Amino acid sequence: MARALRLAERGLYTTQPNPRVGCVIAHGEEVVGEGWHERAGEPHAEVYALRDAGERARGATAYVTLEPCGLHGRTPPCADALIAAGVARVVMASEDTSQAVGAGLQRLRDAGIVVEAGLMRDAARELNIGFFHRIERGRPFVRVKLAMSLDGRTALADGTSKWITGEAARHDVQRWRARSSAILTGSGTALADDPRLTVRLDDVPHVPPLRVVLDRALRTPRGANLLDGSAPTLVLHGPLATPDQRFDAVECAEVPETDTGLDLDVVLGMLAGRGVNELHVEAGPTLCGALFAAGLADELLLYVAPVLLGDRARPLMALPPLDDMARRWQLAVLDRRVLGEDLRLRLRPKS
């Protein structure tokens, strides 16, 4: 199963909106077939592994990181392919909660195949954390990227923020962008930084993430990189704004407002509806703070650079003040890593 998970990881940047899935077919210790899902619309992991195994699939055990599908999607059900190939036993890591409960599992059992579930389930769910989040909670897994100085600042008072972290950290960010289905920002960042929010990784084939701009009053200026049409882009605005020619190269949609801005629950529901699994956020303190305070930020990807930006520089996130230590926000550290001179922490709110 560990091998199957490593195969599944090969689809990290390309399976969107499908899950990353790997499959190993073996007789005891002897591996006779391997496969992984590469792109939506193309065959599933099991199909490649069965092709690889050929006749040797008969009587073998198939290790699959996700429950083999029992329904006909863009491709025929993998459960049927495993049955037809004469596989004797299927070991799956995680259930496929996007299909009718047990659709694949039951089909296999009905055909007399021994099925076991749960081997390395946590690792398998983590690999598809966005897929499961979208299916089970109706919104993407939200990962907020932040880069700060040692004194917890992200930009000077005028908004200047270019090059707080070094080259290695910036390259790392590109990979997190590439694995995400969409990248979210706000019009404040569009105005201050004019980011492109595209993926610049020549050596990593990927599905280009959808750029999503929250622009309540449609303030993104003419000529902004985000409006250049170089990547799929969605501009979300409030009911009082109407897109003009500035927005001709992008898609626009209206979202209801709350007293603090565009309704984030609606935004996330809308993105889930478009198949967004992992949502990467690169935005200013207001949007990042709003997501975090609302419990909508599932992970923080925090780069800490060995610089000091001084008192008037902007804080990490705009959060309501606390008067009681007992109410402090607590985060669990998932991992920590050194990238050049910078430090990267991955954190998740403690629930």
CA pseudo-torsion sign 318, 149, 295, 159: positive
Cα 264-182-319 angle, rounded to 5 deg = 40
**In the chain, what's the furthest Cα-to-Cα distance?**
69
For residue 45, state whether it binds ligand AOF (rule: CB under 6 A): yes
For residue 44, state whether it binds Zn ion (rule: CB under 5 A): yes
In angstroms, what is the minimal distance from the CB of 128 to ligand AOF?
9
Catalytic residue among 34, 38, 42, 46: 46
Which residue of 69, 184, 264, 287 would you call a contact of Zn ion, by CB under 5 A? 69
Only one residue has tokens 């930084």, namely 193
d(CA 184, CA 313) in angstroms, rounded, equals 23
In angstroms, what is the minimal distance from the CB of 277 to ligand AOF?
10
For residue 113, state whether it binds Zn ion (rule: CB under 5 A): no
Which residue of 4, 34, 60, 68 would you call a contact of ligand AOF, by CB under 6 A? 68
193 is in an annotated binding site: yes
Residue 260's Cα: distance from chain center in Å? Answer: 26
Q: 268 — phi, psi (to 5°)?
A: -70, -35
For residue 98, state whether it binds ligand AOF (rule: CB under 6 A): yes
Is 30 noted as a catalytic residue in this protein?
no
For residue 105, state whether it binds ligand AOF (rule: CB under 6 A): no
Residue count of the chain, please give it: 351
Decide whether 44 or 344 has the Cβ nearer to Zn ion.
44
Q: 154 — phi, psi (to 5°)?
A: -115, -15
120-142: b or e for each residue (b if 16 or more CB lie within 10 Å)? beeebbebbbbbbbbbeeebbbb
Is-contact 251 233, C-beta < 8 A? Answer: yes
For residue 102, state whether it binds ligand AOF (rule: CB under 6 A): no
For residue 78, state whether it binds Zn ion (rule: CB under 5 A): yes
Binding-site residues from annotation for substrate: 161, 177, 197, 200, 282
Residue ranges for the known binding site are 44, 69, 78, 147, 161, 163, 177, 189, 193, 197, 200, 282, 284-290
Q: Which residues bind Zn ion (CB under 5 A)?
A: 44, 69, 78
Which residues are at the interface with ligand AOF (CB under 6 A)?
A: 18-19, 21, 37, 40, 44-46, 66, 68-69, 73-75, 78, 96, 98-99
